[in-house]
Amino acid sequence: MSRLFGTDGVRGLANGELTADLALRLAQASAAVLTQGRHAERRRAEGRRPLAVVARDPRVSGQFLTAAVSAGLASSGIDVLDAGVIPTPAAAFLVSDVPADFGVMISASHNPAPDNGIKFFAWGGTKLPDVVEDRIEAYLDRQRLTPTGAGVGRIRRFADAEDRYVVHLLGTLPHRLDGLHVVIDCANGAACGISPEVFADAGARVTVIGADPDGLNINDGVGSTALDALRAKVVEVGAHLGIAHDGDADRCLAVDHTGAVVDGDQIMAILALSMAERGLLTRSTLVATVMSNLGLRLAMERHGISVVQTRVGDRYVLEELSAGGYALGGEQSGHIIMSDFATTGDGILTGLHLAAEVARTGRSLAELASCMTVYPQILVNVAGVDRERLDDDGVTRKLAQIERELGDAGRVLLRPSGTEPVVRVMVEAEDAATARSLADDLAQTIRERIPL
């Protein structure tokens, strides 16, 4: 049987694969697994019930899924603080800030509106390691916690959730944003109520797009997966830069004053160099995933900064940050973790610090982003194939052939997606035509060798 948890929680079509019943059972299983630590035991010893923060993005399906999760937790003896619609990194922060024993975020991040997902945060607001997710999955068919009377959990509105998070964000800033004009694309998602406010509070003049969520338009033609609207608006209003979030605001991509895209790798390069200059980049090391552009590694080498690579997924970046005591890491997609301030990718935090570097240096975002050369990178998603058979002889031979052809002037990466039913083929080369040709060649081999 395939694993229920993917790269970032449990995702699927809401009311399709991801039903209210599954949400309820996941909540009950998480209550059994995530309250076995010393913090929850201390609460019980003091006569208090364990506590969880629950939040969601604006998807309409989030309403019934949040109700199911809250019911599963309360019926298991967990008190629930319902934070309503807030970004995923806000939920993670609040778990630590309260502090709560764990948290649950209802979101499918950058996925379209019909999808949804359930993410769990452990004590301290960290994402769960694979072994803990496996324990939750194993508990789905076991005996639930069934307290009665006073042992049943209470569900309360978390009234000051947004205010706590905004104060936290503003407290991290190394430099105010006075004089900057910033366009913010909220993706019709969870950033709408917070990101424009915090940028304005930091001193920026703010123009906002993608800030009219109706439960169905999240990520629809706006946000970090659809940057054309932001690019056009930045040029139209003459802004210094634009910031794009995804549906749950754990990502940040940017646009410079010319409308050119600045991706997660470039953002990491800018922040890494700034932090190194100010003595804040621990052990002169940046953590990135295997999907990061070759140009990032080469740029960091030129400045004496080491790059440690991890599997795809910001929780794996976080694990490496924690293990090595590093301060900065992230993904090309815009999941950036500044571990001094956050336990997960935080798109608003990242955008604030990127804008602050523009304000601090007086240099344009385009000039700052020129610190690295972006190698042409082609990503092909191959659907309708068996993701468990990537070790097929024909596929491995084609992969080896492409690696020989690229040599040191590029690279190829093949992996199953952790969030979608596809195999991802990524090729980097010195020119886009070569990268496209090799990626398409490998994708065709996969389609022919391992069809479903």
Q: Provide the annotated active-site residues.
A: 109
Helix (H, G, I), strand (E, B) or coil at 147: coil
Residue 44 CB neighbours (<10 A): 12
For helices 264-277 and 347-361, what crossing angle results, to 10°? 60
Q: How far apart are CA 187 and CA 223, in angstroms?
A: 4
Q: How far apart are CA 338 and CA 336, in angstroms?
A: 7
Residue 410 CB neighbours (<10 A): 21
> Contact 402/425 with Cβ under 8 angstroms?
no
Strands 181-185 and 115-121: unpaired
Q: How far apart are CA 130 and CA 25, in angstroms?
A: 19
Helix (H, G, I), strand (E, B) or coil at 308: strand
> Smallest Cα–Cα separation from 330: which of 315, 352, 341, 348?
315
Give how far the C-alpha of residue 184 lies from the chain's centroid of Cα atoms, to the nearest Å: 18
- Report the alpha-carbon angle 425-431-435, nearest 5: 15
> Smallest Cα–Cα separation from 35: which of 16, 23, 49?
49
Residue 373 CB neighbours (<10 A): 11
Helix (H, G, I), strand (E, B) or coil at 12: strand
Give how far the C-alpha of residue 149 lies from the chain's centroid of Cα atoms, to the nearest Å: 39
Strands 10-13 and 115-121: antiparallel
> Contact 102/121 with Cβ under 8 angstroms?
yes
Q: How far apart are CA 173 and CA 44, in angstroms?
A: 38
